[in-house]
Amino acid sequence: EARKKGQNHTIMYEPSMADKSVHFSQIQEALRSALSRGEISLHLQPQFNTDTSLLRGFEALVRWNHPRLGPVSPADFIPIAEQNGTIIEIGEWVLRQACEIHLKELLPLFPEALMSVNISAVQLGDPDFAAGVVRILEETGLPPDRLELEITESGLMASVESAAETMTQLEKLGIRFALDDFGTGYSSLNYLQKFPIHLVKIDKSFIHDLSGRQNKSRMTESIINFVHMLNLPVVAEGLETDEQLTLLRDWRCDFVQGYLFSRPIPAGEAPAYVRRILNQPSPVTP
């Protein structure tokens, strides 16, 4: 785990990243030029229908490869990018890149596939956000109903009124919204009715704890049932074992995503991945 020391503005990363401590201000500066230096890239991780084993689509996950630090986790740099505003530019790049690849490379192979893109609270709170999404869809030509935006509860809390308005506007175009990391925040039931949410993603901390932990299992099953009662589908993220898949199947979890099927792969490798799974029994099949 990376440790953040806000007090003295020092961030310490895992030895695997680079056994160095780096000043917060240096990271901030490095982020400002990361895009123009080509250090930012996109990985894609597939999602599958639990029942039919069919590919549902991909989640786009941003990657930053710093020349000296090596790969920096988005869990570490997204909060910094949110703080210094670079998330707006990075987020736009991610969205455009994801839409472009999806339309040109993946939809021709699998027209039903969705592309899911993570959206930060700062982006959602930006008054220009909706217009930016519309512009990117127009420029890339991606049909809006092939795009899903992943929002967290904290993202919704940050600006309740404007978020609802922005989402309603985009929903009318056919864009879907997924509530990400469900179960880790306040999990306020309010959010599910106040905002146009089309799908809920159960946080991977629930999935990892499934084996053996009775309480966690019951909670996960209840969350799935609860979301289903609202007529929304559920994605479980972070599946790593067959045991977890068996449980989620029993509980009628709609979609699954995790290392069990595939790690996030460089976007350039995604078309070959799709071709491979279309010619093979799906990886979800036991």
**Contact positions vs Mg ion (CB under 5 A):** 118, 150, 180-181
| Beta carbon of residue 168, minimum distance to Mg ion (angstroms, whole number) | 21
Looking at the DSSP bridge assignments, the partners of residue 55 are: 48
* Shortest Cβ 182–ligand C2E spacing (Å): 10
Quote the DSSP letter at residue 210.
T
Contact of residue 31 among ligand C2E, Mg ion, none (CB under 5-8 Å per partner type): none
DSSP 219: H
**Which residue stretch of 29-37, 128-136, 236-244, 273-281 sits at the interface with ligand C2E (rule: CB under 6 A)?**
236-244
Helix (H) or strand (E) holding 3, with range, is strand 3-5
Site residues (CB under 6 A) for ligand C2E, limited to 156-195: 180-181
Length, in residues, of the chain: 286
Query: How many residues interact with ligand C2E (rule CB under 6 A)?
Result: 23
Nearer to ligand C2E, 74 or 271 (CB): 74
Tokens of 163: 């978020």
Q: Which CB sits closer to ligand C2E, 14 or 172?
A: 14
**Footprint (CB under 6 A) of ligand C2E, residues 40-69:** 45, 61-62
Question: In the window 138-157, what residues touch ligand C2E (CB under 6 A)?
Answer: 150
HSE, CB side, 13 Å, CA atoms: give it for residue 143.
8
Residue 136 binding: pick among Mg ion, ligand C2E, none (C-beta 5-8 Å cut-off by kind):
none
Instruction: Supply φ then ψ for residue 23, to 5 degrees.
Output: -70, 140
Residue 76 or 150: the one with the smaller Cβ distance to Mg ion is 150
Smallest CA-to-CA distance from 219 within 104, 167, 227, 282 is with: 227
Q: In whole angstroms, give the CA distance from residue 65 to residue 136.
A: 25
Given ligand C2E, Mg ion, none, residue 229, with its beta carbon under 5 to 8 Å by kind, binds none
CA 31 vs. chain centroid, Å, equals 20
Q: Does 199 bind ligand C2E (CB under 6 A)?
A: no
User: How far is 88 from 10, CA to CA, in rounded Å?
Assistant: 24
d(CA 78, CA 95): 15
Stretch that binds ligand C2E, among 7-15, 104-112, 222-230, 235-243 (CB under 6 A): 235-243
239 near ligand C2E, rule: CB under 6 A: yes
First to last CA, the chain: 32
* Residues of the shown chain interacting with ligand C2E in the complex, contacts defined by CB under 6 A: 45, 61-62, 73-75, 78, 91, 94, 118-120, 150, 180-181, 204, 237-240, 258-259, 264
